[in-house]
């Protein structure tokens, strides 16, 4: 949705909370994360500190806990009504947003904090990168340069996985994607077993676009119990993307096994130019055509400032 479209909206289904208002909402979570814990949760060029976790993610986990309790109450009431003992099904959280906006960090931190809830739930995290088609298929279809666009994902496989989770199947094998090799690892898998909470993170999780030639009636977001969109101003996301590209150029791209090793010897200026070109040709159209229009399908929107920390939050009214 464009800014002009947003301006035309006279009312909003969201409540908006400033950071100060939001941090006051935490009711009972109190945990101590070590510097090592925070370091492991961090990502390239994405600052993370105890203050951000306590002020943003503690109240967020508290809100999710309220939804979890309601989810359990509805299941118990339904079992009594139907006179059946339906097993407990995983509570699924979807996290969406642009490339380089910090979705993965949000997902990792939320996974960690939710695991400290009083009920000590088992929290698993799956990224939709594992459901990208292998490079050989993308190349055969002439869309390798559109990796991340809706048509680059095996949506049927992703939907089958989520359907299995919500049908009570307790063990699932998920493909694994390597950012180093820029491809699916055919000999590697992620095993998901009986989670209480499943977090599904990816740029495409709120999209409703059907794959070309298909008429999908079911969408990924249909399986979510709560969804989150990580948002930021585009000029900030571009800067973060360029900064991350340069950080990777002097680290991960130096590995001869890296798909992006060809960029390892670029100068700083060349690196910035290449990153901006990739953003302009690939990530920008994907953001505007496929990702950003899904923002208002989310139940909660985290709005980040230029420092990568959350400034305000929008929560869909009930």
Q: Read out DSSP for 157-191?
A: HHHHHHHHHHTT--EEEEEEEETTTTEEEEEEEEE
Domain of residue 43 covers 3-316
Residue positions in the annotated binding site for ATP? 97-104
> What whole-number distance in Å separates Cα of residue 301 and Cα of residue 315?
7
CATH classification at residue 288: 3.40.50.300
Nearest to 131 by CA among 71, 70, 203: 203
Nearest to 203 by CA among 291, 108, 100, 94: 291
- List pLDDT tens digits, range 169-203: 999 999 999 999 999 999 999 999 999 999 999 99
- DSSP 8-class letter at 43: B
What secondary structure does DSSP assign to 222-236, as a single string?
GG-SEEEEEE--HHH
The total domain count for the chain is 1
> What whole-number distance in Å separates Cα of residue 285 and Cα of residue 263?
23
Strand partners for 153:
132
- Look at the pTM and tell me if it is higher than 0.85: yes
Pairing of strands 14-18, 310-316: antiparallel
Residue 2 has pLDDT above 70, yes or no: no
- List pLDDT tens digits, range 126-173: 999 999 999 999 999 999 999 999 999 999 999 999 999 999 999 999
Across 84-106, average pLDDT: 94
Q: What are phi and psi of 230, to 5 degrees?
A: -95, 120
The larger pLDDT score, comparing residue 210 to residue 257, is at: 257
What secondary structure does DSSP assign to 55-108, as a single string?
IIIHHHHHHHHHHHHHHHHHHHHHHHHHT--PPP--EEEEEEE-TTSSHHHHHH
What are 177's two structure tokens?
A: 């994607």
Residue 218 has pLDDT above 90, yes or no: no
- List pLDDT tens digits, range 24-66: 997 666 666 767 777 677 766 678 888 899 899 999 999 999 9
Residue positions in the annotated binding site? 97-104
């Amino acid at each position: 949705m464009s800014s002009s479209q947003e301006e035309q909206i006279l009312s909003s289904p969201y409540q908006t909370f400033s950071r100060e208002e939001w941090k006051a909402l935490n009711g009972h979570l109190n945990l101590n994360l070590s510097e090592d814990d925070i370091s492991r949760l961090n990502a390239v060029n994405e600052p993370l500190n105890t203050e951000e976790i306590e002020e943003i993610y503690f109240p967020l986990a508290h809100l999710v806990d309220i939804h979890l309790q309601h989810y359990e109450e509805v299941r118990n009431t339904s079992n009594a009504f139907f006179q059946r003992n339906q097993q407990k099904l995983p509570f699924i959280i979807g996290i969406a947003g642009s490339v380089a906006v910090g979705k993965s960090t949000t997902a990792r931190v939320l996974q960690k904090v939710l695991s400290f809830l009083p009920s000590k739930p088992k929290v698993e995290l799956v990224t939709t990168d594992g459901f990208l088609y292998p490079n050989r298929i993308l190349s055969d279809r002439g869309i390798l340069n559109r990796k991340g666009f809706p048509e680059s994902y095996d949506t049927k496989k992703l939907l089958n996985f989520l359907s299995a989770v919500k049908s009570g199947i307790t063990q699932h094998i998920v493909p694994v994607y390597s950012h180093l090799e820029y491809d699916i690892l055919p000999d590697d898998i992620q095993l998901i077993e009986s989670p209480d909470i499943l977090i599904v993170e990816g740029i495409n999780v709120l999209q409703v676009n059907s794959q070309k030639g298909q008429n999908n009636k079911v969408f990924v977001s249909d399986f979510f119990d709560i969804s989150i969109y990580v948002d930021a101003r585009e000029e900030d996301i571009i800067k973060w993307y360029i900064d991350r590209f340069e950080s990777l150029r002097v680290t991960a791209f130096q590995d001869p096994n890296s798909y992006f090793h060809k960029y390892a010897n670029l100068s700083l200026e060349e690196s910035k130019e290449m990153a901006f070109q990739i953003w302009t040709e690939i990530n920008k159209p994907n953001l505007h055509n496929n990702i950003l229009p899904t923002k208002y399908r989310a139940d909660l929107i985290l709005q980040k400032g230029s420092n990568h920390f959350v400034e305000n939050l929008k929560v869909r009214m009930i």
